[in-house]
């Protein structure tokens, strides 16, 4: 009965994290003054490309930093997302590894440490995916596909991380560290670790291959 109630509680929590990024879509269309775009000619296409380049140039020109400082201030970054998301990646992966170890050791003290690490990992993942996730503009079709994959795996990370955290709390207070309960937490944490790794892979692809983010390129500078 306790197991059924715990799993039911987990299922109720899963949809909570599915609305990442504050419910706002990337590269969303402006709803006001929308007109049907006419058929573009070659010259129109060249003009559009020129306008896009001008927009990016103006955007980058708006980003200033103090070159006299070696360590930049937080307000100089186009987005704080990369500064916090790496904590989530490391903490969730470490929690998964420690949990698998504790399946063998079954140490209550270690279970508490894992719980705290997982709690901080899930919180930082949530903040990175919602409060600090930058919104994009002007992406090409391929970059949008990569971004969708990145966001999908970020949602998987948060959802599975919350489920693992709930199961770990139940493991501590309800099942008293039973090996099978620790193993169940370990399985969910493996899913979360794989998900955060895939989200990080696509995030790196967006930055280093698609060129999204460095110096604020293709980002809406809302936090300024």
Kindly report the backbone phi and psi dihedral angles of residue 80, in degrees, each rounded to the nearest multiple of 5, phi listed first.
-90, 0
Report, as an integer, the average pLDDT of 86-91.
Answer: 96
Q: What is the predicted pLDDT for the residue at 217?
A: 92
pLDDT band with cut points at 50, 70 and 90 for residue 67: confident
**Ordered DSSP codes for 145-206:** HHHHHHHHHHHHHHHHHHHHHHHHHHHHHTSTT-HHHHHHHHHHHHHHHHHHHHHHHHHHHH
How large a percentage of the chain has pLDDT more than 90? 62
- The model's pLDDT over 142-190, given as tens digits with 9 standing for 90+, comes to 999 999 999 999 999 999 999 999 999 999 999 999 999 999 999 999 9
3-state helix, strand, coil in the chain (%, to 5): 70, 0, 30
Return the bridge partners of 219, or none: 136
Report, as an integer, the average pLDDT of 94-115.
Answer: 97
Angstrom distance (rounded) from CA 33 to CA 143? 26
Q: Name the token pair of 160.
A: 């599975």
Report, as an integer, the average pLDDT of 56-76.
Answer: 71
Domain spans of the chain, in order of start: 85-224
Q: What is the predicted pLDDT for the residue at 29?
A: 41
Q: What is the predicted pLDDT for the residue at 158?
A: 98
Angstrom distance (rounded) from CA 215 to CA 155? 26
Contacts of 113 by beta carbon, 8 Å cutoff, 6+ apart: 98
- The model's pLDDT over 13-45, given as tens digits with 9 standing for 90+, comes to 554 445 445 555 555 543 444 444 444 454 444
């Amino acid at each position: 009965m306790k197991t059924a109630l715990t799993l039911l509680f987990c299922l109720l929590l899963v949809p909570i994290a599915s609305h990442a990024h504050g419910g706002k879509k990337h590269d969303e269309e402006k709803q006001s003054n929308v007109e049907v775009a006419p058929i573009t000619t070659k010259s129109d296409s060249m003009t559009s490309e020129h306008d896009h380049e001008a927009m990016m140039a103006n955007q980058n020109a708006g980003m200033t930093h103090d070159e006299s400082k070696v360590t930049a201030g937080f307000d100089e970054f186009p987005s704080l997302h990369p500064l916090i998301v790496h904590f989530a990646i490391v903490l969730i992966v470490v929690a998964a590894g420690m949990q698998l170890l504790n399946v063998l050791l079954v140490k209550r003290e270690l279970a508490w440490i894992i719980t705290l690490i997982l709690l901080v990992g899930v919180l930082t993942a949530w903040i990175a995916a919602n409060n600090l996730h930058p919104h994009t503009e002007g992406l090409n079709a391929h970059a949008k596909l990569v971004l969708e994959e990145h966001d999908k795996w970020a949602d998987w990370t948060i959802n599975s991380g919350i489920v693992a955290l709930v199961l770990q709390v139940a493991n501590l207070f309800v099942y008293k560290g039973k090996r099978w309960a620790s193993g169940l937490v370990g399985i969910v944490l493996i899913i979360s670790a794989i998900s955060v790794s895939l989200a990080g892979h696509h995030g790196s692809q967006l930055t280093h291959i698609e060129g999204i983010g460095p110096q604020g390129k293709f980002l809406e500078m809302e936090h300024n």
